[in-house]
Amino acid sequence: MARILIVDDSRTSRKILRGLLEESGHEVIAEAENGEEGVKKYIECKPDVTTLDITMPVMDGLEALTKIREYDGNAKVIMVTAAGQQNKMVEAIKNGASEFVTKPFEKDNILKIIEKM
């Protein structure tokens, strides 16, 4: 079981993801709706795993990833992308993202990735 922070501007996606995770016994300890809020929540809650949406207002997922990794070099971050966005994924890997999932969420895939971490 992992303590998870969900960062996504879409409440639909947060809700779907929370549902999948909680159903499988994980604990969603906080949610944030943009990158800036996500960084704050990370520092506040020290989650085991953070999911970071890429396309968000105020601060996008890539910038938030950099900030989180500056604060905690061991942060475990799963980037969430709309299917595709490969160039963004390459950039995120360079910046220390551990894994990727694509929207719409596939339950088995997400759970496998979290197990692995």
Partner 1 sequence: MISRLFGSYLVKEGKLTEAQLETVYETMRKVRVKLGLIAVSEKLMTTEQSDEINRLQAIMDKRFGDLAVEKGYLTADQVTRLLGLQGNQYLSFVQAIVDNDFLSMDEINKSLADYQNDNGFTATDMEDLKSGESDRIVPLFLPQNIVEYQLEHILMSIRGFIRLIDSDIYVEKGYISDYEEVQSFAMQSLDGDNKATMAIAGEGKNILAVADAFAGETFEIADEDALDAVAEFINCVNGMFATKINNAFDIDLVPPEYSPDGCKFTGKLIVLPVHVKGSVIKLISSFGEFINK
Draw the binding track, 55-84, toward Mg ion (x: CB under 5 A; -: no contact).
x-----------------------------
**Could you give the 3-state DSSP secondary structure of residue 117?**
coil
State in Å, rounded, how far the first CA of the chain is from the last one: 11
Tokens 């900030």 -> residue: 67
Draw the binding track, 27-66, toward partner 1 (x: CB under 8 A; -: no contact).
---------------------------xxxx---------
**Among 25, 73, 74, 104, interactor with partner 1 by CB under 8 A:** 104
Sheet holding 3-7, edge to edge: 27-32, 3-7, 49-53, 77-82, 99-103
Contact of 80 with 60, CB cutoff 8 Å: no
Residue type (1 letter), 65 = L
Site for partner 1 contains 84 (CB under 8 A): yes
Q: Which is nearer to partner 1, 11 or 112 (CB)?
A: 11
Interface residues with partner 1 (CB under 8 A)? 9-13, 15-16, 54-57, 81-88, 102-104
